Amino acid sequence: MGRNGTVQLRLVGESPRPPRRQRNIDRRPREYLTPAEVETLIATARKRSRYGHRDATMILIAYRHGLRVSELCRLEWSQIDFANGLLHVVRLKGSISTTHPLRGTELRALRRLKRKQEASRHVWITERSAPMTAGGFRQLLRRTSSESGLGFPVHPHMLRHACGYKIANESHDTRALQLYLGHKDIRHTVRYSELSSAAFNDFWKD
């Protein structure tokens, strides 16, 4: 019996409707992470499995460079210039590719990873000697966030947003942030500045 007393018939063998997907806003308090939350994820990933160093390094690189999950999983060693401390970021979805500096923490983590795992052109290798997939990283991040005590599920794009908000909160130039994230349209970048609290820091003096 449906609404208004109408009878609803279901064909034999017809599957019931799947449950409606829960909205992101109902599952997570926001669509980005704070630097402290990212550090919590990295620390949790580092100790949660025998692939902890790989997992922690993936989260670090995704966050520091604002990578989409597809850009992260396609990363190859040829994009990493250890001698000059550079990462050649190949952007997808029509975004602008660029070159980012790699800091000491990142370089040490990547060098250790390259020493530990078998030779491959891909940076992120699974236990089956195959490149990490986007689905695999989503699952990895979901398990890590569950064990981290953050209290809400984390998806890969939250790391890209975390990068944008962190840089915007430090009052860096919006144009520079646009280039760093590879946005062709600066309107996609401005939202990070709009939601940054840095502009309000001098409103109250305690």
Give me the active site residues, please: 68, 93, 157, 160, 183, 192
Describe the strand order of the beta sheet including 86-89 as a list of residue ranges: 80-81, 86-89, 98-101
On whether the CB atoms of residues 127 and 2 are closer than 8 A, the answer is no
Largest CA-CA distance found in the chain, in angstroms, rounded: 74
Q: Which helix (H) or strand (E) holds 98?
A: strand 98-101
Give me the helices (H) in 32-171, please. Answer: 35-48, 52-65, 69-73, 104-116, 134-148, 157-169
CA-nearest of 156, 55, 170 to 113 is 55
For residues 27 and 197, what is the distance between their CA atoms, to the nearest angstrom?
A: 24
